[in-house]
Copies of this chain bind each other. A is one copy, B any other.
Amino acid sequence: MKVVANIYLKAGVLDPQGKAVHHGLDALGFDGVKDVRVGKQIVIELDKQDEQEALEEVKQMCEKLLANTVIENYEVEVKK
């Protein structure tokens, strides 16, 4: 089973990578962009069958390793 963890900076935390992308898009002529935020998407393949158990394990992974919970939030979901 594949589980996706989306990890992104909390609202209010400065995102210099997002700012750089925003400027790049402006320079390429994409107008109408109001904001850009860059996060991580980590796809983890587990040999579990139970969805709830897999989601719970990936949440633990986020807490312990994948996310810096001081400045980042995360969401986990099963990848279809």
Query: A: which residues have CB within 8 A of B?
Result: 6, 8, 18, 21, 24-25, 28, 30, 32-48, 57, 60-61, 64-66
A37 in contact with B47 given A28-B65, A61-B25, A61-B30 (CB within 8 Å)? no
Q: Is the CB of A21 within 8 A of B41?
A: no
This protein's copies in its complex: 2
Q: CB < 8 Å: which of B32, B33, B43 contacts A8?
A: B43
Q: Is the CB of B43 within 8 A of A37?
A: yes
Q: CB < 8 Å: which of B35, B36, B42, B66 contacts A39?
A: B42
Q: Is the CB of A34 within 8 A of B46?
A: yes
A64 nearest in chain B by CB position: B28
